[in-house]
A and B are shown apart, each in its own frame.
Chain A
């Protein structure tokens, strides 16, 4: 059965068509979900794409957090379904407290648009299971507020519990600390993407959905998109996703 995966579209989303394209290539049926709708149309996985939802006014992602569709997404996440936020979608999930931490202004102050190397950390999660061999993945970043921040206790807990899924890598393959050349924005401990404690909601700043065709420079992102699709299929068939755990009282 083809997995139906929803793409949430806010006013100001601009990577939604790339997400539709990537999900098709990964074998899913993309379903576009408008921000004013609370009907998720029977999807079994959700991708929140990049862009500038509601103009990024106030703080990136914060206005989107209070949209009707995000109330439905929060319930969907609490039920254990897989949700992936990319770039602005990660900012929305962080503002909604569906994933831990916050995304601050880039340390270098500039909007950064370039290719990065992304090192996956755990290969058995709903968002990494189809990547295959663990190696640095080439894909672009394009953001002004991508500096991952959480306090030390939160970072320690994330690392202990397997919550860090992707880190920026230096050219030699080592993890890129805040001031290293491989780190585009000053993210603490090189963190590019995290997941929640239950394991079914994740966000990352780089763009796997625009690295899905070798002819366009890289298809290293396809494994991440395919992981979401496989997880959505599993959720459709069994009502849960392997590599996640039920949390008392919600998804966060």
Chain B
């Protein structure tokens, strides 16, 4: 396995549109204290980076898609996207 090429990915997980995000709201409420205005719709999510060894890029991507949908996000309340980091 270790002689397979390594691929680096990031998975970005965010709360679904319409789901109340109290963390995002708290961030937004703190902005006036910094003298910042004009910022809205703040959503707080999570970014998970990883290295995957697999036969090729497509196989590596399939592994990441599976773990992103089954473990890293809960489809009831979150969306995810996968970024290839090269």
Contact = CB atoms under 8 A, between A and B. Distances in A.
Interface residues of A, number: 18
Contacts of B26: 109
B71 A149 contact: no
A150 B23 contact: no
A66 B76 contact: no
B22 A105 contact: yes
A102 B76 contact: yes
Nearest to B46: A58
22 contacts: A58-B71, A58-B72, A59-B74, A62-B71, A62-B74, A66-B71, A101-B76, A102-B74, A102-B76, A102-B77, A104-B20, A105-B22, A105-B23, A107-B20, A107-B22, A109-B22, A109-B23, A147-B20, A149-B76, A149-B77, A150-B76, A151-B76
A151 B77 CA distance: 9
Shortest beta-carbon contacts, A-B, top 7: A102-B76, A109-B22, A102-B77, A105-B22, A102-B74, A109-B26, A107-B22
Interface of A: 58-59, 62, 66, 95, 101-102, 104-109, 147, 149-151, 186
Interface residues of B, number: 10
B19 interface: yes
Nearest to B23: A105
B72 A104 contact: no
B76 A106 contact: no
B64 to A, nearest CB: 15
Contacts of A186: 20
Contacts of B76: 101-102, 149-151
A197 B22 CA distance: 30
